[in-house]
Amino acid sequence: MPGAVEIDAADFIKAADQLGAAADQLPFIMSLALNRAALDTRQHLVQVTWPRSIVQRNPSFIRAALRTEFSTKRDLQVSIYDALGRANLKAHAEGGTKVPRGRALAVPSKNVRLTAHGVAPGQRPRNLAKAFVKDGKIYQPVAGKRRRKLRLMYFLKTSVPIKKDVPFYEDFSEQLRAGIAKHLPEAVMKAMSTRIAR
User: Over the stretch 64-120, which tens digit does the pLDDT of each residue have?
Assistant: 999 999 999 999 999 999 999 877 899 899 998 888 888 899 999 999 988 877 888
Residues 87 and 167 in one domain: yes
Residues 53 and 135 in one domain: no
- CA neighbor of 79 nearest in space, from 40, 37, 38: 38
Least confident of 15-29, 47-61, 162-176: 15-29
Q: What one-letter code names the amino acid at 48?
A: V
**Closest-CA residue to 38 (of 188, 172, 190):** 172
pLDDT of residue 39: 98
1-10 residue pLDDT tens: 677 888 888 8
**Which tens digits make up the pLDDT trace of 42-53?**
999 999 999 999
Residue 127 falls inside a structural domain? yes
Do 16 and 88 lie in a common domain? yes
Clarify whether residues 117 and 24 are in a common domain.
no
- The pTM score is 0.75
Whether the pLDDT of residue 197 is over 60: the answer is: no
Contact status, residue 66 vs residue 45, Cβ threshold 8 Å: yes
Classify residue 118: in a domain, yes or no.
yes
Residue 196 confidence class, pLDDT cut points 50, 70, 90 = low
Q: Which domain holds residue 107?
A: 100-158
Residues 108 and 186 in one domain: no
Domain count, the chain: 2
**Do 140 and 59 fall into the same domain?**
no
Q: Are residues 177 and 79 in the same domain?
A: yes
